[in-house]
């Protein structure tokens, strides 16, 4: 299911784009893009992330934002955290692929805090949402308990005032347009009634 | 020429009880592990630690926390060390969470002599609560203050004898910007080379930001 | 791969009547002279030019001014070109003077997605008149807005075919920060090398900031 | 006279300091410092300015803020204008040596604009005054017409709210302390009465 989501999210990325991939399902997107055509940005200070190191290639000081060892592509560059986030906030990163806990009917995302739990991490998620040109949310359509994650009203704290541009689940891809969700693509074998039953926010089909 | 000290000497010279320390690194990468070990071996306490995270349980700054030396932690991602949550719940640690980019920018603002800046990050969220917000040209921004420290403990790859620094791959991360934001900067490096051995085009941290050098004994 | 064009093609593609242009350089050093010549040969007019200065009489941007293409100039030091004063007195040119550091920082703020910043520079002086000021932690600061442009014409030393840039000595000056602050960035370079020929540690302007490359035909 | 001022200003610079020299008399200070001990910063992006180029050493792309060709010392570094002024504003430059048109009795400086004249240049002077740790003003004690330049009230627009720390003229060196001028050193052969006659602001002698 995760692979299906990642593969479909990857199709939204345009040649030449600089893309930041979050932790979790977003990480899997790397498998489905040509790193010579799409450039991967990691907010800890790398542009041009390549595949994981092969035997003998490991450098423990070269990691991505998920703290996994990486390699870099030819033409890569290193920079510090302030410059990295300047790129992100300043709109120089074409897209971010991010996970989410909830998304509302306007595309507003909750992906960092759970009420009642001690919140000890935010990382770069809010910065990415504030600045990248296209935000692609990838997530399972429902929680493990089967509850809709696409909701009319967020019950979790929002991550930004800025909505996602695309929302990719194992059932469908939505686009956010004029403050509402628009169904872009239904996964083969999923009926529109099933999708509606598992989605707790309205969406249009054109 | 820059003073070259052992990590223990450097920590003894620059740290003090109640000091605010910036510690470089993203996870353990780019973390000045030799200096952190010397800090852990010291008697200094009541520290405020500004670092993206607080290591892993019992490792690096995680050990500093276990030793009860950290009164307050400022960072963006403490989730990887369960000791942090336990210390907060036990009332032993105060945590201030800042978006990672805002943290880096606040350090840069401190190093660049600015009084504050307006960032769109976190506007409208819980992390903006209690902060001044403002709509500028139709967009909501949060006013953030510069983030200063008494001491920065940073990790670089090579220094020349004046204190000019170059870094290694993604171990650069917060280190250069922390070097600008603290009153006293100690750089832990793999190697110290002669003045003139580093091309002026490739120096990332010019020597005017650096106060002490220490040779790294601990490696990843 | 980055588009490599002649200066004339690049100017025709990216400039338009009424455009706001950033032009790199400190005096003539680091100025994209080939691009400026192409601009001067073009029919574009009503330009706002953001550059530390406006060249010397009839040279570089000084020629752009003489050709009547510049409606407004934003910079820190126009004193070296007497044509500027004459054009202002003749009502043909509007000049906005900004302290040099504030200008560089305002470009950085634009490139970094900030809404504005508080700087101590110029507080209490005539250059702060009409600007919002504010006392923060006992010191007076001036609120400055980000400085954006439609197009930046910059000068670098070498580019790789992706558009990563390195500079040459003091010809770096405003070029890297302008590359972050404009919607479209054209870099004039001495040489274009293969992807991978530039060490990732030494790249000053990563390729995500650059949109077009032009080979320099004019040198100092 | 200029050389005398420059030589005496140079004595105020401490070993290890990073120093920015303005245009005019300040430039001459370079002749009286050991560039291996005091590091010269130029706001166009150079730390470690060396002497003017000798035969065959000229690089037209290597200039200082006064647009004169320079060389660099071993251990020099280049950086962009934003970083250069971040150093200046952020207090990382130990001292600036600047010229002035007028200084008042509190050490406040006027060095950029003349009323009634079109003001077309400010450069980096205001940034230097806002951030460097020690400001040393060097200037002739009086105008070409013999009018005092040290005045009780500025008649020219001020450059900053921040006063100078030292004021060096061909007659004396003053220190600014507790909001007033204190005579630090009288040049040999100058009497205190002569100094007072040519100074239009009060100063103390201890």
Check CB contact of D74 with chain C, cutoff 8 Å.
Answer: no
Beta bridge partners of B212: B3, B186
Q: What H or E segment, with its residue span, contains residue C35?
A: helix C33-41
Q: Which of C118, C168, C201 sits opposite B166 (nearest CB)?
A: C201
Q: Report the catalytic residues of A.
A: 43
Closest CA to A176 of A133, A140, A138, A135: A135
Interface of C with A (CB under 8 A): 108, 110-114, 160-162, 164, 180, 195-196, 198, 200-201, 203, 206-209
Each residue's pLDDT, cut to its tens digit, for chain B (220 residues) gives 788 999 999 999 999 999 999 999 999 999 999 999 999 999 999 999 999 999 889 889 999 999 999 999 999 999 989 999 999 999 999 999 999 999 999 999 999 999 999 999 999 999 999 999 999 999 999 999 999 999 999 999 999 999 999 999 999 999 999 999 999 999 999 999 999 999 999 999 999 999 999 999 988 8
- C contacts of B113 (beta carbons < 8 Å): 119-120
Cα distance between residue B200 and residue C3, in whole Å: 30
Q: What is the pLDDT of residue C106?
A: 98
Check CB contact of D62 with chain C, cutoff 8 Å.
Answer: yes
Mutate which of D41, D47, D75, D85 to test chain B, going by most B C-beta atoms within 10 A?
D75
**Angle of the C7-14 helix axis to the C33-41 helix axis, nearest 10:** 60
Cross-chain residue pair C109–B117, CB shorter than 8 Å: yes
β-pairing, C94-97 with C70-75? parallel
Q: What is the pLDDT of residue A148?
A: 97
Question: Which segments in chain D show pLDDT lower than 70?
Answer: none
Cross-chain residue pair B201–C134, CB shorter than 8 Å: no
Q: Where are the beta strands (DSSP E) in B70-181?
A: 70-75, 94-97, 116-119, 133-136, 139-144, 149-155, 158-160, 165-166
Q: What H or E segment, with its residue span, contains residue A40?
A: strand A39-42
Q: Which of B113, B203, B206 sits opposite D90 (nearest CB)?
A: B113
Task: Please say whether the beta carbons of C125 and C131 come within 8 A.
Answer: no
Residue with tokens 């942090």: B84
Q: Kindly tell me whether chain D and chain A come into contact, counting contact as 3+ Cβ pairs under 8 Å.
A: no
ipTM: 0.97
Check CB contact of D37 with chain B, cutoff 8 Å.
Answer: no
Residue C163 Cα distances to B59, B150, C12, C215, angstroms? 41, 39, 20, 12
- B contacts of A158 (beta carbons < 8 Å): 124-125
Torsion of CA C48, C52, C57, C60, to 10 degrees: -70
- For residue D20, give both structure tokens: 């920015």
Alpha-carbon distance B79 to nearest alpha carbon in chain D (angstroms): 33
Mean of pLDDT over chain C = 97
Residue B193 phi, psi (nearest 5): -110, 170
Question: Which segments in chain A show pLDDT lower than 70?
Answer: none
Tens of pLDDT, residues B87-128: 999 999 999 999 999 999 999 999 999 999 999 999 999 999
Residue with tokens 């029919």: C43
Cα distance between residue A10 and residue C82, in whole Å: 56
Number of alpha carbons in the 13 Å side-chain half-sphere of residue A7: 7
User: Residue D118, SS3?
Assistant: coil
Cross-chain residue pair B207–D79, CB shorter than 8 Å: no
Cα nearest neighbour of B200 on chain C: C169
The topology (CATH level 3) of C3-119+146-215 is: Glutaconate Coenzyme A-transferase (3.40.1080)
Q: What is the pLDDT of residue B188?
A: 98
Alpha-carbon distance A67 to nearest alpha carbon in chain B (angstroms): 7
Check CB contact of A124 with chain C, cutoff 8 Å.
Answer: no
Q: What is the pLDDT of residue D35?
A: 72
Q: What is the pLDDT of residue B220?
A: 82
Query: Contact partners of D by the rule of 3+ C-beta pairs under 8 A?
Result: B, C
Check CB contact of D151 with chain C, cutoff 8 Å.
Answer: no
| Domain ranges (residues) in chain A | 2-204
The topology (CATH level 3) of A2-204 is: Glutaconate Coenzyme A-transferase (3.40.1080)
- A contacts of B52 (beta carbons < 8 Å): 81
Residues 6+ apart with CB under 8 A from A56: none
- D contacts of B209 (beta carbons < 8 Å): 92
Alpha-carbon distance A95 to nearest alpha carbon in chain C (angstroms): 12
CA A159 to chain centre: 13
Tens of pLDDT, residues C15-72: 999 999 999 999 999 999 999 999 999 999 999 999 999 988 988 999 999 999 999 9
Mutate which of C107, C112, C118 to test chain B, going by most B C-beta atoms within 10 A?
C118
Question: Residue A187 gets which letter from DSSP?
Answer: P
Each residue's pLDDT, cut to its tens digit, for chain C (220 residues) gives 788 999 999 999 999 999 999 999 999 999 999 999 999 999 999 999 999 999 889 889 999 999 999 999 999 999 989 999 999 999 999 999 999 999 999 999 999 999 999 999 999 999 999 999 999 999 999 999 999 999 999 999 999 999 999 999 999 999 999 999 999 999 999 999 999 999 999 999 999 999 999 999 988 8
Alpha-carbon distance B153 to nearest alpha carbon in chain A (angstroms): 16
Q: What is the pLDDT of residue C219?
A: 83
Q: What is the number of other CB atoms lying within 10 angstroms of the CB of residue A53?
A: 15
| Domain ranges (residues) in chain B | 3-119+146-215
Residue B159 phi, psi (nearest 5): -125, 150
Cross-chain residue pair A121–B123, CB shorter than 8 Å: no
Mean of pLDDT over chain D = 95
Task: Please say whether the beta carbons of D99 and D105 come within 8 A.
Answer: no
């Amino acid at each position: 299911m995760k692979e299906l989501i990642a593969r479909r999210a990857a199709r939204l990325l345009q040649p030449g784009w600089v893309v930041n991939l979050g932790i979790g399902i977003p990480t899997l997107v790397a498998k489905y893009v040509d790193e010579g055509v799409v450039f991967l940005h990691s907010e800890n200070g790398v542009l041009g992330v390549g595949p994981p190191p092969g035997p003998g290639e490991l450098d423990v000081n070269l990691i991505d934002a998920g703290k996994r060892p990486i390699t870099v592509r030819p033409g890569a560059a290193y920079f510090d955290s302030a410059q990295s986030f300047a790129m992100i906030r300043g709109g120089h990163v074409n897209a971010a692929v991010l996970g989410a806990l909830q998304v509302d009917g306007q595309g507003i995302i909750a992906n960092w805090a759970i009420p009642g739990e001690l919140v000890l991490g935010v990382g770069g998620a809010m910065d990415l949402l504030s600045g990248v040109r296209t935000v692609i949310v990838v997530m399972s359509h429902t929680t493990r308990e089967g509850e809709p994650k696409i909701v009319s009203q967020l019950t979790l704290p929002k991550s930004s005032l800025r909505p996602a541009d695309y929302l990719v689940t194992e059932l469908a891809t939505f686009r956010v347009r004029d403050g509402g969700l628009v169904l872009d693509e239904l996964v083969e074998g999923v009926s529109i009634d099933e999708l509606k039953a598992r989605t707790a926010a309205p969406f249009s089909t054109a | 020429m820059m003073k070259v000290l052992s990590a223990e000497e450097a920590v003894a010279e620059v740290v003090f009880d109640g000091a605010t320390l910036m510690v470089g690194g993203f996870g353990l990468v780019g973390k000045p592990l030799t200096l952190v070990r010397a800090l852990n071996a010291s008697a200094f306490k009541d520290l405020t630690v500004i670092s993206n995270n607080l290591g892993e349980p019992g490792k690096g700054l995680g050990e500093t926390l276990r030793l009860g030396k950290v009164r307050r932690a400022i960072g963006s991602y403490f989730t990887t060390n369960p000791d942090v949550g336990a210390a907060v719940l036990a009332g032993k640690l105060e945590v201030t969470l800042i978006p990672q980019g805002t943290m880096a920018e606040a350090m840069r603002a401190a190093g660049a002599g600015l009084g504050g800046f307006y960032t769109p990050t976190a506007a409208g969220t819980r992390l903006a609560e209690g902060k001044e917000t403002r709509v500028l040209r139709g967009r909501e921004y949060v006013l953030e203050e510069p983030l200063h420290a008494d001491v920065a403990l940073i990790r670089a790859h090579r220094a020349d004898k004046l204190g000019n620094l170059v870094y290694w791959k993604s171990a650069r991360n917060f280190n250069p910007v922390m070097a600008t934001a603290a009153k006293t900067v100690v750089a832990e490096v793999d190697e110290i080379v002669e003045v003139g051995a580093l091309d002026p085009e490739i120096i990332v941290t010019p020597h005017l930001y650096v106060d002490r050098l220490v040779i790294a004994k601990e490696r990843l």
